[in-house]
Chain A
Amino acid sequence: MKLDRTAWLTLVLVMGAALALAILNQATPPGSAAHVPTYVIALAGKYLCFAMLALAVDLVWGFAGILSLGHAAFFALGGYAMGMYLMRQIGTRGVYGNANLPDFMVFLGWHDLPWYWYGFSWFPVALLMVVLVPGVLALVFGWLAFRSRVTGVYLSIITQALTYALLLAFFRNDMGFGGNNGMTDFKDILGFSVQADSTRSGLLVISALFLCAQFLMARYVVTSRFGKVLIAVRDTENRTRFLGYRPESYKLVVWVLSAVMAGIGGALYVPQVGIINPSEFAPGNSIEAVIWVAVGGRGTLTGAIIGALVVNFGKTWFTGAFPEVWLYALGFLFIFVTLFLPKGVMGLFARRQRRPAEIEPEVTPAAREVTG
């Protein structure tokens, strides 16, 4: 796989920025002009996790034409798997000091750990679950949906229903995932305090590494022959069938891969924000992720990362400065991008340096699909 200039720039900027922030936080004393406060580190780490979710959305939406309005579900499931590990690490330091049960279970009057919590005190098991839970859910969901040739807006609606169903399920205390409150008050991860500046800086750098790895993997996938088939499926699914391809298999592979990527993003998100609760399943979150991709430029990968970072930076600033107008601003941004920048921020760059044999697909059907 050859990397073009945009890809190199993406990798260098993501890694460079994360390292610079981490070093400035660790190597300079608080109060000095060059010091980066820890809240900025946590914020940046959170943005990078959102960028992983955006990358996952772009992979299925930009290259396979699957407009998922439920991708945050996979992100949240990865987050819950990590949250369960972090809960088990609390041990006797909880309010009730129960070594065997997390606080919320003691509060509910439970006496035994539910079977599905077994093994979560062991980090490798938690990691496996971060990959497996979103992956298997995506496999089952995708197998059923793609085999029945559910496409377009119908598929979008059932992905939305999927995340909403999970939202309702995780709200229930009986589910054993902390209900409404979710999981919080984490103490440490692999023995490092989650509150420590050094851990936060480390998590930021690890998030950047994972984002870069996911970016490279996604790029490999879309530039391979597999990716070419995928783009063909996106634009003219029927034609690929008459050529002997099974579009449903291609969609399923990329769908599961994308769900796992989102899950990993969620797993890195939880230790950095310190909480996971059912609101992560809220349908609005998934729709926001689609907006990030649309803003950055659908079907460009780099654009997904830019979109996630820019929109979330805007969200942080807006919700601080004018909290009541943020949703209007987001809606306006989406309409503006759909109407005037169908290729998003990346379209602005592409206009200046368009080469004849670009691998970047035409993105015009994107706008139509969203508005239609």
Chain B
Amino acid sequence: MTEADTLLYLDGVTVSFDGFRALNALSLVLEAGEMRAVIGPNGAGKTTMMDVITGRTRPDTGKVVFSASTDLTKLDEPAIAALGIGRKFQKPTVFEPHTVWDNLLLALAGDRRPWFSLWARETVSERDRIDAILETVRLKDQRQRRGGDLSHGQKQWLEIGMLLAQEPQLLLVDEPVAGMTDAETEQTAELLREINRTRSVVVVEHDMAFVRALDVKVTVLHEGSVLSEGTIDHVSEDPRVIEVYLGR
């Protein structure tokens, strides 16, 4: 593996909150075009890891390097988003008073400055992009509904759609299938695989059936660092993983 293939590189990242080490010298390498599943028990540091990558939390020590050269620890959330890192939260957060269409419109990659948005008119290319995303996330018939009126699963998809609209290189997806029906879970796995054809994805998930369905490399976090890494079969046979998950 050469450095050019590495999209995201976390090196010895430590974050403590009042003495509690949420991340403990965490190191992780993500290749360009890869989809990675991150699992781990509650408090393993999955969400903190996402916070560090997206600029919400600054690490005490360690490096976070994106695209071989950009140090993410120096940037804030909007700057990191502009670099091409999109994030989906655990609890679906869409703009509830806005229509599905407007939610996607606001997420579309483009000029984010107030002065631009004050005079912006919807262009044909924007419409086409939104239509394409609506198709991908299966919300074509919901375009005029308010985000707040969607079902839980539809909100999750809308948020994934908003991530796609940002045209990121890397998508961070936090528990996308929490609270979904089996059919929705299956469709979401399919959707993520589809997205992964053009973009790198990191999925944090509890649902082992879903992780198995994704069929990608798995990283197991425990107490803020990597416990095990490999295929789902490899990690689920790892005695340390079994111990952590099944209790000692």
Contact = CB atoms under 8 A, between A and B. Distances in A.
B19 to A, nearest CB: 25
Q: Of B82, B98, B144, B162, which is in contact with the most chain A CB atoms at under 10 Å from its CB?
A: B98
Nearest to B102: A228
Nearest to B95: A232
Q: Which residue of A229, A243, A245, A250 has the most chain B CB atoms within 10 A of its CB atom?
A: A243
Given A242-B87, A243-B107, A228 B77 contact: no
B209 interface: no
Interface in B108-134: 112-115, 117-120
B32 interface: no
A72 to B, nearest CB: 26
B82 A244 contact: yes
Interface string B57-70: 00000000000000
A242 B77 contact: yes
Contact of B105 (A228, A242, A361): A228
A184 B118 CA distance: 40
A224 B119 contact: yes
Interface string A353-372: 00011000110000000000
Given A232-B98, A239-B93, A357-B99, A244 B114 contact: no
B96 A243 contact: no
Contacts of B94: 239
Residue of B89, B114, B162, B166 most packed against chain A (CB within 10 A): B114
Contacts of B86: 242
B81 interface: yes
Judged by DSSP, the binding face of B is mixed
Contacts of A242: 54, 77, 81, 86-87
B81 A244 contact: yes
A253 B114 contact: yes
Given A225-B106, A241-B77, A246 B98 contact: no
Contacts of A253: 114-115, 118
B148 interface: yes
Given A228-B105, A231-B97, A239 B120 contact: no
Interface string B128-168: 00000000000000001110100000000000001000100
Nearest to A232: B95
Given A225-B105, A356-B144, A244 B78 contact: yes
Interface residues of A, number: 26
Given A224-B117, A225-B105, A362-B148, A231 B81 contact: no
Interface in A212-256: 221, 224-226, 228-229, 231-232, 235-236, 238-246, 249-250, 253
B118 A249 contact: no
Contacts of A244: 78, 81-82, 112, 166
A246 B113 CA distance: 8
A249 B145 CA distance: 29
Nearest to B115: A253
B98 A231 contact: yes
B106 A243 contact: yes
For chain A, what secondary structure do more than half of its interface residues adopt (helix, strand, loop), or is it mixed? helix
Most B Cβ at <10 Å: residue of A238, A242, A250:
A242
A238 B119 CA distance: 24
Contacts of B145: 356
B26 to A, nearest CB: 21
A221 B118 contact: yes
Given A243-B81, A244-B81, A246-B78, A362 B117 contact: no
Contacts of A226: 114, 117-118, 120
Contact of B95 (A221, A239, A241): A239
A239 B89 contact: yes
A311 B119 CA distance: 35
Contact of B113 (A232, A235, A239, A249): A249
Contacts of A231: 95, 97-98
Nearest to A359: B97
Contacts of A228: 95, 98, 102, 105-106
A64 to B, nearest CB: 11
B229 to A, nearest CB: 27
A224 B106 contact: no
B78 A245 contact: yes
B97 to A, nearest CB: 4
A235 B96 CA distance: 8
B103 to A, nearest CB: 8
A309 B91 CA distance: 42
Contacts of B113: 249
B82 A229 contact: no
Contacts of B76: 241
A247 B118 CA distance: 14
A229 B117 contact: yes
A235 B98 CA distance: 11
A221 B114 CA distance: 11
Given A246-B112, A362-B148, A235 B77 contact: no
Contacts of A241: 76-78, 81
Contact of B118 (A224, A232, A235, A356): A224
Nearest to B119: A224
Interface centre among A231, A239, A357, A362 (most CB of B within 10 A): A239
9 contacts: A224-B118, A228-B106, A231-B97, A232-B106, A235-B97, A239-B94, A242-B77, A245-B106, A357-B146
Interface of A: 221, 224-226, 228-229, 231-232, 235-236, 238-246, 249-250, 253, 356-357, 361-362
8 shortest interchain CB distances as A-B pairs:
A244-B81, A241-B77, A361-B97, A226-B118, A226-B117, A225-B120, A225-B117, A232-B95
